[in-house]
Amino acid sequence: MKVDTGRQFIGRFAKGSDLLSSLTELCGVEQIRLGVFTVIGAVTRACMGYYDQAGQQYVDCVNLEKKLEITCCTGNISLKDGKPFVHAHITLADLSGQACGGHLMPGTVIFAAEYYIRELCGAELQRRHDPQTGLSLW
Ligand code: ZN
């Protein structure tokens, strides 16, 4: 569907905050109902999910208790149960340059995080349960 660019936001989230919560809170405060974003920076620990397509649930949560670079965190904002909902994926790199990634989960703690959010207008996407995948999809 066609959408138009709305407001844009740039800034950084507080050190020690949860990355997913920070994104969700900002979207709530600014009432961003549809959008896309990127975040770069670093974290002091990370939690990522992997979706088991056969079992239709997030399994094998990857918990990394180490300092990592956010080489890329990207995602979208839409509505779930009428409220702004953030779907984010993240790729992180360690001291040796090794990267890992997954679905961003609560428990990823910010060392530094610079965000850019672009609101999109002219459409509304609601997440609803999709029986084929078990996910909440548009
Ligand atoms: Zn995901």
Contact 51, 45 (CB under 8 A): no
Residue 101 Cα to ligand 1 midpoint, Å, equals 11
The amino acid at residue 6 is: G
Report residue 60's pLDDT band, with 50, 70 and 90 as the boundaries.
Answer: low
Residue 48 Cα to ligand 1 midpoint, Å, equals 9
pLDDT, tens digit (0-9, with 9 covering 90-100), for 108-134:
999 999 999 999 999 999 999 999 999
pTM score above 0.85: yes
Q: What is the length of the chain?
A: 138
Give me the residues paired with residue 62 across strands: 48
Report the chain's mean pLDDT, rounded to a whole number: 96
Burial of 49 (0-12, 13-18, 19+ CB in 10 A): middle
Residue 103 Cα to ligand 1 midpoint, Å, equals 4
DSSP state of 96: T
